[in-house]
A and B are shown apart, each in its own frame.
Chain A
Amino acid sequence: MDREPIIIAFCCNWCSYAAADLAGNSRLKYPPNVRIIRVMCSGMVHPELVVESLSQGADGVMIMGCHIGECHYIDGNQKALARSDMITELLEDFGFEEQRFGIFWLSSAEPERFVEAVSDMTERVKKLAQAG
């Protein structure tokens, strides 16, 4: 595979999208592979969207929300967390490696955490590509 891998990142409006904004303000650098889709809450992301992303050719999918206990909508991220096991199982059924999916928690003031998550994920899917 010679093209750069593409990672779809669902970022919640309140924390992770804001952290990505702040990464920009702070001029932190990270690999250009991630495509952010803004959602109101990590709990808004339907498992089907994760499968759909991978089926359409995404190399990885990230769901990023506020820290557990800090959800803007009381406990939406906990629902996202509860669903993530189901997503992993779904991926197995569809024949995708579970490493292609990751769920991350970060506050809006943690741009380096965002950068770290995106960098790790990029590395992960690149390794999978090599292995494949």
Chain B
Amino acid sequence: MLRDSMNVGAVLIVGGGVTGMQAALDLAESGYYVYLVEKSGAIGGAMAQLDKTFPTNDCSMCILAPKMVECGRHANIEILTLSDVTDISGTAGNFQVSINQRPRYVDPEKCIACGVCTDNCPQLVDSDYDAKTGKRKSIYVKYAQAVPLKYQIDPHSCIRLNKPGKCGICEEVCVANAIRFDDAAKKRKLAVGAIILAPGYEAFDPTAAGVWGYGRLPNVITSLQLERYLSATGPTAGRLLRPSDNKPVRKIAFLQCVGSRDENLCGNGYCSSVCCMYAIKEAVIARQHVPGLSAAIYYMDMRTHGKDFDTYMEKAKTESGVRFIRCRVHGVEPYSRNGDLRLHYINEEGRQVEELFDMVVLSVGLQISTHIRELAEIAGIQLSASSFASTSDFAPVTSSKEGIFACGAFSGPKGIPQCVVEGSAAAAAVAGQLGLRCEETPPLPEYPEERNTSEEEARIGVFICHCGSNISAVVDVADVEEYASGLPGVVHVERNLFSCSQETQDILVDAIRQKQLNRVVIAACTPRTHEPLFRETLKSSGINEYLLEMANIRNHNSWVHDDTSQATLKAKDLVRMAVAKVATAESLRPEAVPITQRGLVIGGGIAGMTAALNLANQGYDVDLVEKSDRLGGNALNLKHTYSGVHVPMQVAKLIDKVSVHDRIQLHIETEVSKAKGFVGNFKSTLKTPGRKNRTIEHGVAIMATGGQIFRPTEYGYKQIRCVVTSIEFERLHELKEKHVKQGKSFVFIQCVGSREKGRMYCSKVCCTHSVQSAIELKREDPGRNVYILYRDMRTYGEREYLFKKAREMGVVFINYELHGKPKVTEVDRQINVDVWDHVLHRPVRIKADMVVLATAIVANAEIDKLAQLYRIPLDENGFYQEAHAKLRPVDFTTEGLFTAGLAQYPKPVDESIAQALAASARATTLLSKKEVYLDGIKAVVNEHKCDGCALCVDVCPYHAIELIEIDRDKDDQPVKLVRINSAQCKGCGMCQGTCPVRGVDVAGFTMEQLSHQIKAALEI
């Protein structure tokens, strides 16, 4: 940790994808100032191009957009789009960075994103966003939900920029005068304390490798292109038509490992980790689009090693009827003139097969682009042999240069959850290095004192936006203006060309002050994008920000209707509804919840220790609770990580650091026996045998309670000598036990207890672990026979190189299926392993000196108790259930609680550590504050109506409601009522929808307000 007063509290993040955004948000929330540098015109990265995400089938944009908007609005985040890093100098704590910001040719201050320029632009080019499946104009916005939502001109194709004096239509039609043909590149110099590189990846381009016909046969497309075809915002609006003749696709094939696990054709020897899952997802989603679609996936190993992935694959097989064919397809041939395609392959029975398809999808791998390699060179950091950023398993987001961190797909191919984890982890690593940085936050904007309007009659101002001509071209805005002035309570109406422009905000402030307005209706666009802006304006004019309502007369009216009389009528209705609702709006205040700036970490394994140490290094006090008598957890059983780091040495270092840190309070042989409280204010009781129970107060808690080894009951374990689990083998091997030392024939059996009924999940680490052990055995004595019996080899990412090495060393890999498990028997002290060989197509018998069972990782038994104490959910396999599989991988739905390590799902050391750092970063977003402000949209109990029936208590998803008894009158019996803990309430209104007596309302959406809206809508 650097404790130099010269440390700069600003951080540079390169890459505005999901990884960079997560890092930016966590740092910004913890008090750092962030420069988020993005090379394209908008943040969002690769995830913004995806249709759905596995394994939840969530709409990708729906879950990403809120994060983008948050980045766009955060006072501590400055987004630099169209920007490249050109130079980095200085050292950790004090870097100087040069940025080149390319011209946008559109003034972002003026552009109101009405899209008239695009409509009129005559130049059509391939759209990169649509992976060249569709077209866009030369002036365009990257996608509809882009942040910043500003148009840009592509200088390569723009007619005017290439031929001065020509075209220029966009400039003529832009009512906001935002076009700047003379815009030029700008240079920026930034001083930052740390740098996070999250530049992402590029998809492998299969054009050069001709065998798949990509670029030549129109119906051979990449997986990213299919993603766009499936997307509702894609070129075919979600219809699956084949490019050659627009015929609906009836039969589709996916070819795996295009650009991965293949050094001959593409030079990428590693596994891209995500393609198996995205292919299954695309097949499933495609079948939802085209009922009856036949989908086949051609693969070498299905690598569905993440949480809930195997269940997803099983469902794809059984419910969606996706066919999985284990083989390598070596080429795609045209079959007919109309575009049908023919695949040749050798099936699992060893027969040559030929099959016809309408469309072939190449599941392209992830790789590092030249652009990113140049960035690494500028940063002066080392890359791996496959050009991914070099990091270490015990410091998974730390680059080779101090002060520079690498995360996301840049440091190895990985899926979205792991990218998000690493984004947070990089934030934690930066904060652990720079220490507390709260004093660096920019001053908050100051507002005038709020006028008390509670006693005033409603004085409503209605502001009607033309939105250039986006509204006024369809709606007769003058008519709406006149109509609005006659509505009850309305004392002021005016029209604005652009209600959102800076000039109009000044006009609004003046009008509110001069006319003493106490309610405001903005009839314009959607509150989802513009409500925060107008709330700020209300605050600036000295009235409460919640006295606002927007009537969406653009997105829901002028843009979707053509008929002026109908649209004008509807605009009047929408304004009338908004006026009726706002008339009973009340001033609300964000509630302040104090934060106890102290953390609790449960579990003293590497995840728990890493999290505790990071929090402590940032300057927070931490209680670390471990139930056994020593720190280290499961890592004490490990020897080497996959990349060869010596685990015992690193664990010893970690234990040392944790033990001596003056901010870490260790509680060994201790368990949590009681817990209560909510975000920022937890109280947990610790129980240590022989000691008095003690209660500690903490603002956050990280659950890192680990996992354990599954004890098998098959393959003769505990019955046949020399049948051992892989952890037992590792110990015997290390002790040079005689059976291991003298053994000549070793058989590893994979998936013992994993991926079958009852535990339909992959334990993720066992394939790599067995391959490592096999390599070690061969290295000691190349004459040994080593066999690995597997279902799918899941040496994902750069672990693939170990698999390759093992094959080169002569380790024999034999595939088996779940229905044909190997049999282990012992006759006259000779162990025989019988298995069906899929290459030879006959049974084989292996004489083994030792059989090693790669056993599953299961959740700890005690996890149930903790889950109950803190009211956190478990998944069907007994692991902790995180808040969201993709975007909140270490959070729980209960705020202030986080998870890391094996307790969430089986994972290797590097991923446990990244998750621990991520949990620490997420915890810091709370711990860095003395209090947090929660949105004013909360449920409120009407004590006169509530009869204490408690129906709402059961439906509240956040356990925010409790039943209490109060003495209303001294003489009467105490009455039952519900009470809402507003710190836990998220304002969803489940209680409101349930209450039989209208005893509870969500402020801003009360039953009364909704009733008023209904009445107003129907007043004809």
Q: Within B951-996, which residues are at the interface with A (CB < 8 Å)?
A: 955, 957, 986-990, 992-995
Closest B residue by C-beta to A22: B144
Contact yes or no, B988 A41, CB < 8 A: yes
Q: Does A122 contact B (CB under 8 A)?
A: no
Contact yes or no, B56 A35, CB < 8 A: no
Contact segment of B158-166, B181-189, B207-215, B561-569 = B561-569
Measured CB to CB, the closest approach of chain B to A72, in angstroms, equals 8
Q: How far is the CA of A46 from the CA of B208 in the complex (A)?
A: 59
Measured CB to CB, the closest approach of chain A to B272, in angstroms, equals 25
Q: Does B82 contact A (CB under 8 A)?
A: no
Q: Does A127 contact B (CB under 8 A)?
A: no
Contact yes or no, B1002 A29, CB < 8 A: no
Find B62's partner among A15, A38, A57 (CB 8 Å cutoff): A15
Contact segment of B8-16, B231-239, B496-504 = B231-239
Interface size on B, residues (CB 8 A): 61
* Cβ proximity bits A108-119 to B, threshold 8 Å, 1 near / 0 not: 111111000000
Q: Does B754 contact A (CB under 8 A)?
A: no
Contact yes or no, A26 B144, CB < 8 A: yes
Contact yes or no, A24 B559, CB < 8 A: yes
Q: Does A25 contact B (CB under 8 A)?
A: yes
Measured CB to CB, the closest approach of chain B to A96, in angstroms, equals 14
Measured CB to CB, the closest approach of chain A to B611, in angstroms, equals 25
Q: How far is the CA of A39 from the CA of B59 in the complex (A)?
A: 20
Contact yes or no, A44 B988, CB < 8 A: yes
* Cβ proximity bits B548-563 to A, threshold 8 Å, 1 near / 0 not: 0000101111011111
Find B1018's partner among A6, A28, A48 (CB 8 Å cutoff): A6
Find B957's partner among A18, A35, A75 (CB 8 Å cutoff): A75
Q: Does B1010 contact A (CB under 8 A)?
A: yes
Find A24's partner among B233, B527, B554 (CB 8 Å cutoff): B554
Measured CB to CB, the closest approach of chain A to B227, in angstroms, equals 12
Contact yes or no, B231 A109, CB < 8 A: yes
Contact yes or no, B1014 A108, CB < 8 A: no
Closest A residue by C-beta to B554: A24
Q: Does A90 contact B (CB under 8 A)?
A: no
Contact yes or no, B560 A30, CB < 8 A: yes
- Which residues of B are found within 8 Å of A29, using beta-carbon distances? 560-562
Q: Within A66-89, which residues are at the interface with B (CB < 8 Å)?
A: 66-67, 69-70, 72-76, 79-80, 83
Contact yes or no, A69 B567, CB < 8 A: no
Q: Does A56 contact B (CB under 8 A)?
A: yes
Closest A residue by C-beta to B986: A73
Contact yes or no, A57 B1018, CB < 8 A: yes
Known contacts A17-B528, A29-B562: A109-B61 contact under CB 8 Å: yes
Contact yes or no, A79 B233, CB < 8 A: no
Contact yes or no, A45 B62, CB < 8 A: no
- Which residues of A are found within 8 Å of B811, using beta-carbon distances? none
Contact yes or no, B957 A112, CB < 8 A: no
Contact yes or no, B988 A40, CB < 8 A: yes
Q: Within A9-28, which residues are at the interface with B (CB < 8 Å)?
A: 13-15, 17-18, 20-28
Closest B residue by C-beta to A75: B957
Contact yes or no, B559 A25, CB < 8 A: yes
Closest B residue by C-beta to A42: B993
Interface size on A, residues (CB 8 A): 59
Q: Does A52 contact B (CB under 8 A)?
A: yes
Contact yes or no, B957 A40, CB < 8 A: no
Q: How far is the CA of A3 from the CA of B916 in the complex (A)?
A: 62
Known contacts A26-B233, A29-B561, A112-B237: A39-B990 contact under CB 8 Å: no
Measured CB to CB, the closest approach of chain A to B365, in angstroms, equals 26
Q: How far is the CA of A107 from the CA of B288 in the complex (A)?
A: 15
Q: How far is the CA of A77 from the CA of B845 in the complex (A)?
A: 56
- Which residues of A are found within 8 Å of B893, using beta-carbon distances? 74
Measured CB to CB, the closest approach of chain A to B142, in angstroms, equals 13
Q: Does B65 contact A (CB under 8 A)?
A: yes
Measured CB to CB, the closest approach of chain A to B116, in angstroms, equals 12
Q: Does A8 contact B (CB under 8 A)?
A: yes
Find A39's partner among B529, B563, B1005 (CB 8 Å cutoff): B1005
Q: How far is the CA of A8 from the CA of B560 in the complex (A)?
A: 17
- Which residues of A are found within 8 Å of B101, using beta-carbon distances? none
Q: Does B573 contact A (CB under 8 A)?
A: yes
- Which residues of B are found within 8 Å of A13, using beta-carbon distances? 528
Known contacts A25-B559, A32-B563, A52-B1014: A79-B993 contact under CB 8 Å: yes
Contact yes or no, B62 A8, CB < 8 A: no
Measured CB to CB, the closest approach of chain B to A43, in angstroms, equals 5
Contact yes or no, B56 A37, CB < 8 A: no
Contact yes or no, A38 B990, CB < 8 A: no
Contact yes or no, A8 B232, CB < 8 A: no
Q: How far is the CA of A110 from the CA of B285 in the complex (A)?
A: 14
Contact yes or no, A53 B989, CB < 8 A: no
Contact yes or no, A35 B1005, CB < 8 A: no
- Which residues of B are found within 8 Å of A103, using beta-carbon distances? none
- Which residues of A are found within 8 Å of B144, using beta-carbon distances? 22, 25-26
Q: Within B219-242, which residues are at the interface with A (CB < 8 Å)?
A: 231-233, 237-238
Contact yes or no, A109 B986, CB < 8 A: no
- Which residues of A are found within 8 Å of B567, using beta-carbon distances? 32
Contact yes or no, B58 A70, CB < 8 A: yes
Closest A residue by C-beta to B1007: A46
Known contacts A56-B1018, A73-B990: A112-B232 contact under CB 8 Å: yes
Measured CB to CB, the closest approach of chain B to A111, in angstroms, equals 7
Q: How far is the CA of A35 from the CA of B570 in the complex (A)?
A: 8
Q: How far is the CA of A76 from the CA of B990 in the complex (A)?
A: 7
Binding site for A on B (CB under 8 A): 51, 56-62, 65, 144, 231-233, 237-238, 526-529, 552, 554-557, 559-563, 566-567, 569-570, 573-574, 577, 893, 937, 955, 957, 986-990, 992-995, 998, 1002, 1005, 1007, 1010-1011, 1013-1015, 1017-1018, 1020
7 A-B pairs with CB atoms under 8 Å apart are A6-B1018, A8-B1014, A26-B144, A35-B577, A43-B955, A70-B56, A112-B238
Q: 11 other contacts beyond A8-B1017, A18-B528, A21-B526, with CB at 8 A cut-off?
A: A21-B529, A22-B555, A25-B559, A30-B561, A32-B557, A32-B567, A43-B993, A73-B990, A109-B60, A109-B232, A112-B237
Binding site for B on A (CB under 8 A): 3-4, 6, 8, 13-15, 17-18, 20-30, 32, 35-41, 43-49, 52-53, 56-58, 66-67, 69-70, 72-76, 79-80, 83, 107-113
Which 6 A/B pairs are nearest by Cβ-Cβ distance?
Answer: A44-B989, A24-B555, A24-B559, A73-B988, A107-B59, A108-B62
